[in-house]
Structure 1
Amino acid sequence: FCKKPNKFRKPFGLILSIAAVVALNFKLCFSVCARAEYEVNGECCPMCAPGNHVYWHCTIDTSTTCVPCPALTYIDEPNGLDKCFPCTLCDAGQGLRVKRNCIRSADTVCEPLDGFYCTEFAMKHTECSPGQYIKQAGTALTDTVCSDCSEGSYSNGSFTTCQLHSKCETEGLREVKPGTVSSDAECGNSTPVGVIAGTAGVVVLVTAVGISLIYLKLKHKKTQTPTTGNTLIIIIKVIIIKYNFSINLIRPVTVT
């Protein structure tokens, strides 16, 4: 006789499979190994100390065999690993340098180069532009903060405060070039060199004419006519008028 197929056999097998998976997961999650041990092939083996990795796993008769991490590798925790991690390289091209070298039990510690700060990687500090001052200097974690100079002050971008423009008149000088937000005012002598030279020349000329006039009066006192004296006076007046005209041409104009 042919037997009827058992409709309960297939679901029952599925239930057994699920139970086996749950039991396996329970065993993995709730390992009986102590905190300083790791499980391998159903055995609890002692972990290797930081700076070492597993060379041979333990057996029933032997403990774990550990060896030091090779050069340029590390492990910073007790472990059951058969390889160490490679040390981090501080790339100068990304603005980094070594703060603390890598050792077997600790990774390299990097820090930003001078003039850089860190976000996800080192960034060069912002340089303040002319007309701005450094409100807050950059650090290893923050960028430089710049601020604009107010009217009447200046900075070339490297100052921590804006400097007031020089007051030429208070120093007995005249302003040759007005100040800007990025440069100071330029001061010069209060009297231009041309004016000084012109004044000296005219003084010498007038003195010479005066001496000549006195000499002629003494020499030709009896024969001198009014016309000669008047002519010399007219010459002196013309010289003085020309001198005043030249002074006005080269005299600086004061802008208020």
Structure 2
Amino acid sequence: MYIGTKAAALLGLTPSDVTILKAISSKESAIPDIASRTGVPRTSLYYMLSTLERRSLVSNYERRGKKYWKTSSVEELRTRYTSLFNGFDSLKDDRIVKEMSRETTVTFYRGNSNVINVLREISDLPLKSRFYGIQPEASIIQAVTRNDIKEIIRFNRKINSKKLIVEGIIHEKGTDSMIKVLPTRIGIELLKSFSNRSADTVKLPDNYLNKTKSEIYLYNNKIAIVNWSEEFAVIIQNKDVFDLLKEMFNSTKYLLERYDQNEKIARKLVDFGSV
């Protein structure tokens, strides 16, 4: 197999990788033969060959109890890498679901019109279910300015009507900031949609995660990582990962100061004269 400089760079091959591939392609190659032709110590050679095999550049076979190595053909490589690039092309889809195992599913959303499905899933939880969220100030600003605010309000009302319980870690100043970026009437409607929620919240220090435009939700053995600014979300459904992050959430929450968001919202509504 001839591999030019440009092809080697594209494949991320080191000079030693290229030397090994050339040595294998020249003739039938067992480990002693490859070591002799390349000068690479056998201990290193086993590792390097296994790495090249994982990348489908070489394969091995046995004959009369002895293992030999061969390089993949150009056609084999073309098929392999075409399928990989087709996988990249599939990222053009707005929703991709990958079943990693019977216990694990990973879902990717692109575009906030699809990312908002995270809120839809939360609002569809059974009556009085509990969910968990970490939402920094910068992220909530992105949420209310980069989505249809009427849809956000609709989901909030549904969450309240089903008496869902939210345990939250948030910036206290986020409540003020999210309404400053909206017209007054819409801001009041948004505040009302959050009010009287069954909530157990603590507040992030103002200087912590103060530039973070991402948020995270835990619900129904799922972890949803959302970035409204770059318009994508990743949802991992796996109980072990859920339990791990929930314990991390609980440990963090335990260290922070409690914050009554309902009281804060009630005061803001009084300030607006809407109560």
TM-score tier, shorter chain, comes to under 0.3
TM-score, with length taken from structure 2: 0.20
Instruction: Using CA pairs under 8 Å that are at least 6 residues apart, name the structure with larger relative contact order, 1 or 2.
Output: 2
TM-score, with length taken from structure 1: 0.21
